[in-house]
Structure 1
Amino acid sequence: MIYNNPKFEKNADLIPLFIACPFAKPDKDCPFSCFHLLKDQAARVLQILNVSQHRLDEMREIHKNCFQRLLLEQQVMKSADWEKTIEASRLAME
């Protein structure tokens, strides 16, 4: 079977990213988005074989940075919501 290729094993963490973006809305510069245009999910996964290992490593790093940025944005949003809640509670007590 073609999935027995060592390149799949080495890059197993990237397989879901070739299938679809795990975030609500992918970045416009996402290196995986061009693969999402393929209609067949298996065809998307097979594209791993066509990408150099160096590029796959770069794509992994781009995804890691994107994930960290989105987590930070979520923390900031939650912080802002918490501050609004505290302010609303303070106003309600007056």
Structure 2
Amino acid sequence: MSSFNTKKIRQNADLVNPMSKCPFGVPVSECPFIPFHEMNNERKQIEQIETLPQEKLDEMRKFHRACMKELMKTRKANFL
């Protein structure tokens, strides 16, 4: 059993929620997190942060922030 207490996971903790599920229910079709949602295993989803290059994580973060900004205008978020 691996630990989530790694430097890389801590630095990218803001990606844990979008890796697990879309806070707006159904993700947009171009969402880069969809392959992780399909894993249906939160532990494996979070572990992917360790395996992805930081540049990819930064791109995913940028996408997520822009998507959140747009979807907050039209959808109700379910963050819990």
Q: What interval of TM-score do these two structures reach, taking the shorter chain for normalisation?
A: 0.7 to 0.9
Taking a change above 3 Å as real, the CA distance of residues 64 and 36 of structure 1, as seen in their structure-2 partners, is same
CA shift for structure 1 position 71:
2.2
| % identical aligned pairs | 35
Structure 1 partner of 2:78: none
Structure 2 partner of 1:82: none
Separation of aligned partners in 2, 1:46 and 1:22: 19
**Equivalences for 1:1-94 in 2 at 5 Å?**
2-73=3-74
What TM-score, normalized to structure 2?
Answer: 0.83
What TM-score, normalized to structure 1?
Answer: 0.72
Separation of aligned partners in 1, 2:43 and 2:72: 29
Divergent runs of 4+, >4 A:
none
CA shift for structure 1 position 12:
0.5
> Is the radius of gyration larger for structure 1 or structure 2?
1
Structure 2 partner of 1:87: none
